[in-house]
Amino acid sequence: MAPVFDYAPAPESRSVVDIAPSYGLFIDGEFTEAAGGKVFKTVSPSSEEVLSEVAEASEEDVDRAVRAARKAFEKWSALPGSERAKYLFRIARIIQERSRELAVLETLDNGKPIRETRDADLPLVAAHFFYYAGWADKLEHAGYGANPRPLGVAGQVIPWNFPLLMLAWKIAPALATGNTVVLKPAETTPLSALFFADICRQAGLPKGVVNIVTGDGRAGAALVAHPDVNKVAFTGSTAVGKEIARTVAGTRKKLTLELGGKGANIVFDDAPIDQAVEGIVNGIFFNQGQVCCAGSRLLVQESIHDELLDSLKRRLSTLRLGDPLDKNTDIGAINSAEQLARITALAEQGEAEGAERWSPACELPESGYWFAPTLFTNVTQAHTIARDEIFGPVLSVLTFRTPDEAVAKANNTPYGLSAGIWTEKGSRILAVAIKLRAGVIWSNTFNKFDPTSPFGGYKESGFGREGGRHGLEAYLDV
Amino acid sequence: MSDKPEKTEKTDKSERTERLSVFKTYKLYVGGKFPRSESGRVYEVTDAKGKWLANAPQSSRKDARDAVVAARKAFGAWSGATAYNRGQILYRIAEMLEGRRDQYVREVGEAEGLSRSKAAAQVDAAIDRWVWYAGWTDKIAQVVGGGNPVAGPFFNLSSPEPTGVVAVLAPQESSFLGLVSVVAPVVATGNTAVVIASEKAPLPALSLGEVLATSDLPGGVVNILSGRTAEIAAPLAAHQDVNAIDLAGADEVLAKELEIAAADNLKRVLRPQPVDDWTAAPGTERMTAFLETKTVWHPTGSLGASGSSY
């Protein structure tokens, strides 16, 4: 199909963000070099341009950060909630003020489209701080007893798919409840966390309340294993989540895990097709499918399979892949060469196992890490691409005949994070939702997030909830 | 801005005349505008020692009815705004107040005969109170609402909703902190308010209108009237388009009279409660007093070979 419109390039200006050539660790309110002086480079996934050099934290640095957090804990936890609230409100406001800068930064370091960082990530980040700021002086109303206490020092390890949003999900509730934190951002996306350190400085946050240690998995492992950490919060892969669960076994550390998913997006024959197609696209191609709650398994009622697939393919042909800073871009870059290799390998396995692969005509840029939107039909439940989390823009399409079959197939996974239901019938939505073993069910919509709404998984998608009143529990001694 | 005169003018001290200050005309705040009373009446407001401060508008019954119209008109959009949006706006009010802190410290000090530091404590607590209620907008539903496990195949969810237009008799003694403490919880949850300021100390309340007008709060959400409390409250308590009334600023006799009038359309009535210390942390009662609970049922159906049963 020939495109109806040609789009002129509409790049967002990079001049709004000023990236320093190097960054240290943020410990006890100061940027410092790593003890061993080691650094690593962070690149822009869309161009492979080196953006900055970042300190690589050693075990010694992690220890220093935990000590700083411990030292800060006494005063921070003793502050009246209303004063902690005001610090968090300040942070929320500064994030709002600097949101364009942070959106451009995030797009540069992560590779996701500016449309998403500007319209989804950053507004949600600010809203999350705003929401938990309000809880800081209302904890006795949250249903955890008259005087719920913080845990102490929280060690938090976050992924690269929503760097600043995951930071907000971790730091906002931790600080609101009176904990201090040591946060390790992902190796490939450290910059927005380091900019956040500067926001803490602007907000006048006491030293040591927030510490940022950059590095790879070893720094994360050291943080999780540190004996003076009281709380571990991790978002990332199920494999690493299990490793962390083993590490904290036998300790008194409180643990919450937000892990992988293989979300089913179930479309019944009475669903409004156009809306469902938009929801399916949003479900698996938002953030290049690098979303733990992605709707990566499409379950279509057999009677509408062909009609839906026609519409879906037509819609995929209009998606625009390219420069993430371009305001018209729908699909940005894959975050890293490593992730691209994993997606590529799984897609090849899908073909090898007999599923039918399809992608729209799509020109990939020459430099950077790119993967065309892809869907597989003729997928069975035994196929690897129907079982393993791909974490990329790859949709596996399966069919069903009855609601019972849809539920059985949707639940046929070790994961249980999200699911979608598309039907005009309210009672069917609720009947199916009740049967699904997943923590978040979207009906006639997908990938909706709100700071007031708890998020988290069943089964091997982890435990604990982030967001809402429920999200406080992870950081309270209850 | 500097108070210091420029050096060149400083030649001879005896020639300097003290600059004459500009008085503010205090006006009502109704529907986002600053009208005088339609009656043309004013009354003399003095400080604690009896020194003249200003002539405040003495609102009439008609002013009260106009304010109800403005509050009703604003209710749809305000109650329909997201809780997050309302929270942002309430927080903005705190930001704007912080910037005019000195003005309110002076006004509260004069109105209540307080030392500068005691007046400052009142103003600081009032600013923090807006912050406290800013945080409540998107949390009250999670504290007082929730799913109900009915014994049947039904989804059943109870949610709080604002009751509508609330008439608020602000406390007589605490002209600013008391006022904020009764107004903020009413509007935080999505109600709109017609507020009668403290009769003898209305100036901080009338000045609050200037902050509300520049805080992204839609016009009509808060309407502020000054005058004789009993005179303005009577038509509000009897008004058929007012849904609730907070009697904080009424004495025992007036409160009973107004509660009887309010029964005519079964207004929700919050009776005056003795408050020794307005700086004490509030609970949720001032919000829940002006909330309705709406419960929605929906069948959950059942799965089967033929699909849902309903």
| Distance from C-alpha of A455 to C-alpha of A356, rounded to nearest angstrom | 33
Residues in chain A: 478
| Distance from C-alpha of B230 to C-alpha of B251, rounded to nearest angstrom | 10
pLDDT at B212: 98
Q: Which domains can be identified in chain B, with CATH numbers?
A: 25-299 (3.40.605.10)
Residues A292 and A335 in one domain: yes
Residues A160 and A176 in one domain: yes
pLDDT at B308: 42
Which residues in B have their CB inside 8 Å of a CB on A?
83-84, 87-88, 91, 128, 131-132, 134-139, 142-143, 155, 281, 284, 298-310
Residues A253 and A289 in one domain: no
Residues A244 and A316 in one domain: no
**CATH code of residue A421:** 3.40.309.10
Residue A387 lies in a domain: yes
Those residues with Cβ within 8 angstroms of residue B56's Cβ, 6 or more apart along the chain or in another chain: B26, B42, B43, B45, B202, B203, B206, B226, B227
Residue A136 lies in a domain: yes
Residue A434 lies in a domain: yes
pLDDT-above-90 percentage for chain A: 98
Residue A290 lies in a domain: yes
Residues A162 and A255 in one domain: yes
pLDDT tens digits for A130-165? Answer: 999 999 999 999 999 999 999 999 999 999 999 999
pLDDT-above-70 percentage for chain A: 99
Instruction: Say which DSSP state B15 is in.
Output: G
pLDDT tens digits for A354-380? Answer: 999 999 999 999 999 999 999 999 999
Residue corresponding to tokens 């509408």: A304
| A-chain residues near B137 (CB < 8 A) | 134
Residue A45 lies in a domain: yes
Residues A246 and A315 in one domain: no
Integer angstrom CA distances of residue A374 from A69, A169, A313, A335, B8:
45, 30, 10, 17, 78
**CATH code of residue A205:** 3.40.605.10
Active-site hit among A116, A187, A292, A389: A292
| Distance from C-alpha of A28 to C-alpha of B249, rounded to nearest angstrom | 50
Q: Which of A97, A124, A138 to mutate to test the interface with B (most CBs of B within 10 A)?
A: A138
- Spatial CA neighbour of B261 closest among B238, B244, B232, B233: B238
Integer angstrom CA distances of residue A332 from A4, A6, A160, A209, A448:
22, 19, 14, 35, 20
Residues A297 and A433 in one domain: yes
Per-residue pLDDT for A1 more than 60? no
| B-chain residues near A430 (CB < 8 A) | 155, 298-301
Which residue among B84, B136, B303 sits closest to A127, beta carbon to beta carbon?
B84
CB pairs under 8 A between A and B: 93
Helix B83-99, helix B203-212: angle, nearest 10: 120
Residue A254 lies in a domain: yes
Told to judge if A258 belongs to the known catalytic residues of this protein, a careful annotator would answer yes
Residues A125 and A268 in one domain: no
Residues A48 and A96 in one domain: yes
| Distance from C-alpha of B74 to C-alpha of B71, rounded to nearest angstrom | 5
Residues A401 and A274 in one domain: yes
Q: Does A147 touch chain B (CB under 8 A)?
A: no
Per-residue pLDDT for A90 more than 50? yes
User: What is the three-state SS of chain A?
Assistant: CCCCCCCCCCECCHHHCCCCCEECEEECCEEECCCCCCEEEEECCCCCCEEEEEECCCHHHHHHHHHHHHHHHHHHHHCCHHHHHHHHHHHHHHHHHCHHHHHHHHHHHHCCCHHHHHHHHHHHHHHHHHHHHHHCCCHHHCCCCCCCCECCEEEEECCCCCHHHHHHHHHHHHHHCCCEEEEECCCCCCHHHHHHHHHHHHCCCCCCCEEECCCCHHHHHHHHHCCCCCEEEEECCHHHHHHHHHHHCCCCCEEEEECCCCCEEEECCCCCHHHHHHHHHHHHHHHHHCCCCCCCEEEEEHHHHHHHHHHHHHHHCCCCECCCCECCCCECCCCCHHHHHHHHHHHHHHHHCCCEEECCCCCCCCCCCCCCCEEEECCCCCCHHHHCCCCCCEEEEEEECCHHHHHHHHHCCCCCCEEEEECCCHHHHHHHHHHCCCCEEEECCCCCCCCCCCECCCHHHEECCECCHHHHHHHECC
Pairing mode of beta strands A153-157, A30-32: unpaired
**Per-residue confidence band for A6, with pLDDT thresholds at 50, 70 and 90:** confident
Instruction: Quote the tokens at residue B151.
Output: 């014994």
Told to judge if A83 belongs to the known catalytic residues of this protein, a careful annotator would answer no
Residue A6 lies in a domain: no
- Its domain, for residue A416, covers 264-443
Per-residue pLDDT for A197 more than 90? yes
Residue A59 lies in a domain: yes
Residues A422 and A463 in one domain: no
Residues A94 and A160 in one domain: yes
Domain count, chain A: 2
Q: Give the strands of the sheet with B291-299, arranged side by side.
A: B146-147, B154-162, B291-299
pLDDT at B14: 56
pLDDT at A5: 72
pLDDT at A387: 98
pLDDT tens digits for A230-276? Answer: 999 999 999 999 999 999 999 999 999 999 999 999 999 999 999 99
**Per-residue confidence band for A2, with pLDDT thresholds at 50, 70 and 90:** low
pLDDT at B309: 41
Instruction: Tell me which residues of chain B have a pLDDT lower than 50.
Output: 1-10, 305-310
